Amino acid sequence: MLITCWSAKGGSGTTTVACALATLLAARHPAGCLLVDGCGDAPGALGLPEPDAPGLAGWLGEAGGVRGPATGPAGPEVPVAAGVSLVPRGVGALGPPSRVEALAGALAAEARPVVVDAGALAADHAELVPLAAGAARSLLVTRACYLSLRRAVRAPLRPSGVVLLAEPGRALTRDDVAEVVGVPVVAEVAVDPAVARAVDAGLLPVRLPRGLARALAHAA
């Protein structure tokens, strides 16, 4: 199953949610989970040194056609922890769109669950739209923030569900967000210092904060 996490505006918690979902899915599946980093922040969030691997950019730029799942869907993987393997972002442009579409097909056919961090699709990462459009679950990670939601409704695609980063003091409610975006809120993740600390310490995959795991249990 391919699950793609994306946002309409930067700093919404997308990388954190993608890394946490990959960790949860890896614990449920004997073959683990593949995390595909479309933006370049996953190694930092997972406590890894910058991987020396061609990654996603290398896969998409490779001569000789797009490889199918039988030979590995997305190029060399880096083992992370707790059953998660990472395809890092790599260096260079991500395209052309026909290759990104082929990648979406290969990832959807992968036997393991696959989580993609596609970042801010509505803004600076539009090239990864096919990875969200071709996903079984396309999750918009957003705050209940008017400016983010304005961008979300103008995004080049509609998500299948929303992961809401729930902050105290917001005027817009969970129901408002669901109504504006037009899809259900499938998880509500609290802003929690334990999450920020785990990310800053690079400990997310080995010490996934309990509240975050509970919140995302049904999103995956």
Ligand X SMILES: Nc1ncnc2c1ncn2[C@@H]1O[C@H](COP(=O)(O)OP(=O)(O)OP(=O)(O)O)[C@@H](O)[C@H]1O
Give the interface with Mg ion as residue ranges (CB under 5 A).
Answer: 14-15, 39, 41
Given the complex with ligand X, which of 110 and 117 has the nearer CB atom? 117
Peptide bond into 96 cis (omega under 30): yes
The Cα–Cα gap between 143 and 206 comes to: 26
Tell me how far, at minimum, the Cβ of 109 lies from ligand X, in Å: 26
Residue 10 partner contact from Mg ion, ligand X, none using kind-dependent CB cut-offs of 5 to 8 Å: ligand X
List, in order, residues 6 or more apart from 135 with CB less than 8 Å away: 2, 3, 4, 104, 108, 116, 160
Place of tokens 């869907």: 73
Q: Enumerate residues 93-122 that contact ligand X by CB under 6 A.
A: 119-120
Which member of 174, 192, 202, 213 binds ligand X (CB under 6 A)? 192
Quick one: which of 2, 3, 6, 14 contacts ligand X (CB under 6 A)? 14
For residues 214 and 192, the answer to whether their CB atoms sit within 8 Å is no
CB of 134 to ligand X, least distance (A): 21
Stretch that binds ligand X, among 54-62, 78-86, 95-103, 191-199 (CB under 6 A): 191-199
Which of 3, 6, 8, 16: binder of ligand X (CB under 6 A)?
16
- With a CB cutoff of 8 Å and minimum separation 6, the contacts of 92 are 57, 58, 61
The whole-angstrom separation of Cα 45 and Cα 169 is 27
- Number of neighbouring beta carbons within 10 Å of residue 154: 9
User: Cβ 198 to ligand X, closest distance in Å?
Assistant: 8
- Closest to ligand X by CB, 45 or 102: 45
Residue at token pair 């590995």: 72
Contact flag: residue 145 with ligand X (CB under 6 A): no
How many residues in the shown chain lie near ligand X by CB under 6 A?
A: 19
Asked if 191 contacts 167 with a C-beta cutoff of 8 angstroms, the reply is: yes
Binding residues vs ligand X (CB under 6 A): 7, 10-16, 39, 41, 119-120, 165, 189, 191-192, 195-196, 199
